[in-house]
């Protein structure tokens, strides 16, 4: 019996499966485990008419649980499968009965303990795969748990840590594991998980070796691999970018030597919406547009011109053809006043009809917000930071990370090839506007509203009165999105304000007793209260008045723009 990982799209439930005729199975008991660890016990399958197609003889519930998780995450992992010989239905039915009666939920940490003992006794990985009916990949993954600290393994056993997080922790040094474990065990700290953990391990930029244009053996730096053998990353991001930029430059020269008129290399992270460009062959002036993501991925889009460039090229071509046919241009079909007459009447008919088609109007408004037009000028807020410290702090915040995830989902709905740039802020091109409108017509109202909400969020002005109005209306609790950090305390330099904050966390007695101390000392005492250190009683869920909705002040000195903005609109949202 062959063991392999099979794409979920290549699987279907066999008619001989003992549960085939029943409705969708109840997977509530196994779904949490599949979410946390994936499918561990191989499904029993057999060929189904083609080399890449299989039907499930046993493992239908695991299959449905895996499909549910794939729908939730937007991607499907291959499932471990034991592939039967193509036998008769009686053998398949017997196997289905045996597998369902003898089902045993595995515990990976317990398996690791067993496999480790077997390895010490001289058993090879191949022997373990045959004995336990697991794929070699699964056995290696289980053995990789041995590089983790015992407390991390135990948390994984209790399903307090998911598989993706554990996989990334196998790349961490013992010191990094201890630092992460300290965050994990502290209820007031946020331990990074999943892809955020990768960012944390690599100092903010985790770049996979899969995206390198250059030969990996030419990279002189350190490459870190997870012990599951599935992913590897460049430890030195600066060195990676040096090699990657050299490879991009070489590729650009190769395109130019091949006769392409121009190769445009966009800045890393600069967005490239497909609707802003038009496919144009090389012989008609098409360029190569190169996109580079912040994660190092490079794509070469051959044969494209911006919509405006493509129209200009067509106009020039048509003008040349016309010049060849006649020495002077022919008279236009419509005079200027007649064109104006036709335009106005068609405009009047369309706009009155639009009043009866609210769904189309909604989609048209969203399209205008994304692309713009001669009458619409919409642009996302640039979120300009005062310095690099503020910029880095914002980029790592919970709210910004969640927003970036939602933006990628919306870009996927729009069919955009760019995963990092804003959705709003197009160049006002008519064809692009119609293209996005056509795309929106094919989407459900719920999806259109998701896109609308994100575009609206992108175009909210930082520091504006509407931010204060929305925060009050939504009843936002900033504790869900923010906690006091190093950047906040570094920027806090006002002695009077620091003393007021000290009164918030330690009481008036403590604040009065330290009123003459330096700002640095008062900030240290505040942090001691927040951490419960140096004999201070720990204060939970403290939130500075500046971060509350509605906002509050610490002094009567004025000069706090946020409070001024709220005072403008307060009467509209708060009943006296």
pLDDT digits (tens, 9 = 90+) for 207-262: 888 889 999 888 888 887 765 656 788 878 888 888 999 999 999 999 988 889 89
Mean residue pLDDT across the chain? 81
Burial class (CB in 10 A: 0-12, 13-18, 19+), 86: exposed
Average the pLDDT over 71-84 and give the result: 85
* Whole-number pLDDT of residue 93: 46
**DSSP assignments along 215-271, one per residue:** -GGG--S-EEE-TTSS-EEES-HHHHHHHHHHHHHHHHHHHHHTT-S-EEEPPTT--
* Whole-number pLDDT of residue 509: 92
* Whole-number pLDDT of residue 122: 81
Instruction: Report pLDDT digits (tens) over 250-288.
Output: 999 999 888 898 988 887 767 666 667 788 888 888 899
Q: What percent of the chain has pLDDT over 90?
A: 15
Average the pLDDT over 298-323 and give the result: 74
| pTM higher than the cut 0.75 | no
More confident residue, 330 or 450: 450
* Whole-number pLDDT of residue 94: 45
Binned at pLDDT 50, 70 and 90, residue 525 comes out as very high
Instruction: Report pLDDT digits (tens) over 460-476.
Output: 888 889 899 999 888 99
SS3 173: coil
- CB atoms < 10 A from the CB of 112, how many? 21
Binned at pLDDT 50, 70 and 90, residue 156 comes out as confident
Binned at pLDDT 50, 70 and 90, residue 104 comes out as very low
* Whole-number pLDDT of residue 97: 42
More confident residue, 23 or 454: 454
Taking the alpha carbons at both ends of the chain, their separation in whole angstroms is: 76
Binned at pLDDT 50, 70 and 90, residue 142 comes out as confident
Q: How far apart are CA 196 and CA 225, in angstroms?
A: 17
* Whole-number pLDDT of residue 53: 87
Question: Strands 54-58, 43-47: parallel, antiparallel or unpaired by DSSP?
Answer: antiparallel
Q: What percent of the chain has pLDDT over 70?
A: 86
* Whole-number pLDDT of residue 105: 47
Question: Strands 43-47, 223-225: parallel, antiparallel or unpaired by DSSP?
Answer: unpaired
Q: Is residue 548 pLDDT above 50, yes or no?
A: yes
Q: How far apart are CA 142 and CA 80, in angstroms?
A: 14
The pair of three-digit structure tokens given for residue 465, joined into one six-digit string = 């009165």
């Amino acid at each position: 019996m062959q063991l392999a990982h099979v794409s979920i799209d290549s699987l279907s439930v066999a008619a001989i499966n003992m549960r085939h005729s029943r409705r969708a199975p109840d997977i509530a008991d196994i779904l949490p485990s599949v979410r946390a660890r994936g499918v561990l016990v191989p499904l029993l399958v057999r060929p189904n008419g083609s080399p890449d197609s299989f039907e499930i003889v046993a493992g239908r519930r695991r299959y449905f649980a895996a499909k549910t998780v794939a729908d939730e995450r937007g991607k499907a992992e291959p499932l471990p499968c034991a592939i039967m010989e193509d036998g008769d239905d009686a053998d398949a039915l017997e196997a289905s009965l045996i597998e369902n009666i003898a089902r045993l939920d595995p515990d990976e940490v317990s398996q690791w303990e067993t496999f480790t003992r077997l390895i010490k006794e001289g058993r090879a990985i191949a022997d373990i795969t045959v004995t336990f009916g697991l794929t070699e990949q699964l056995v290696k993954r289980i053995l990789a748990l041995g590089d983790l600290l015992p407390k991390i393994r135990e948390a994984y056993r209790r399903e307090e840590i998911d598989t993706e997080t554990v996989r990334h922790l196998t790349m961490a040094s013992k010191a990094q594991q201890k630092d992460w474990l300290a965050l994990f065990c502290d209820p007031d700290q946020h331990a990074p998980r999943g892809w955020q953990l990768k960012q944390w391990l690599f100092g903010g930029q985790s770049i996979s070796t899969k995206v390198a244009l250059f030969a990996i053996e030419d990279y002189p730096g350190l490459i870190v691999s997870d012990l599951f053998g599935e992913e590897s990353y460049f430890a030195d991001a600066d060195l990676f970018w040096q090699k990657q930029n050299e490879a991009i430059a070489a590729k650009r020269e190769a395109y130019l030597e091949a006769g392409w008129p121009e190769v445009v290399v966009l800045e890393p992270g600069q967005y490239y919406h497909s609707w802003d460009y038009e496919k144009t062959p090389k012989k008609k002036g098409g360029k190569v547009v190169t996109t580079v993501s912040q994660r190092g991925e490079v794509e070469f889009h051959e044969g494209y011109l911006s919509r405006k460039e493509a129209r200009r090229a067509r106009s020039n071509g048509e003008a040349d053809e016309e010049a060849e046919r006649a020495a002077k241009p022919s008279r236009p079909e419509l005079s200027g006043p007649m064109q104006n007459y036709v335009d106005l009447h068609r405009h009047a008919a369309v706009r009155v009809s639009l009043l009866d088609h609210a769904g189309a109007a909604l989609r048209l408004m969203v399209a205008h917000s994304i692309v713009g037009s001669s009458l619409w000028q919409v642009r996302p807020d640039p979120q300009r930071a005062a310095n690099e410290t503020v910029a880095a702090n914002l980029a790592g915040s919970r709210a910004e990370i969640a927003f970036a995830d939602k933006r990628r989902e919306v870009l996927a709905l729009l069919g955009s090839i760019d995963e990092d740039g804003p959705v709003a802020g197009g160049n006002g091109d008519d064809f692009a506007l119609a293209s996005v409108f056509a795309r929106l017509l094919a989407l459900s109202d719920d999806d259109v509203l998701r896109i609308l909400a994100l575009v609206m969020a992108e175009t909210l002005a930082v520091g504006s009165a509407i931010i204060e109005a929305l925060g009050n209306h939504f009843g936002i609790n900033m504790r869900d999105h923010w906690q006091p950090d190093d950047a906040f305390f570094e920027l806090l330099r006002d002695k009077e304000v620091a003393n007021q904050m000290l009164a918030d966390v330690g009481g008036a007695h403590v604040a009065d007793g330290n009123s003459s101390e330096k700002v640095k000392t008062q900030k240290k005492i505040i942090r001691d209260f927040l951490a419960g250190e140096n004999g201070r009683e720990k204060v939970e869920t403290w939130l500075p008045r500046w971060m509350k909705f509605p906002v509050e002040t610490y002094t009567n000195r004025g000069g706090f723009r946020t409070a001024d903005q709220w005072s403008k609109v307060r009467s509209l949202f708060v009943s006296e």
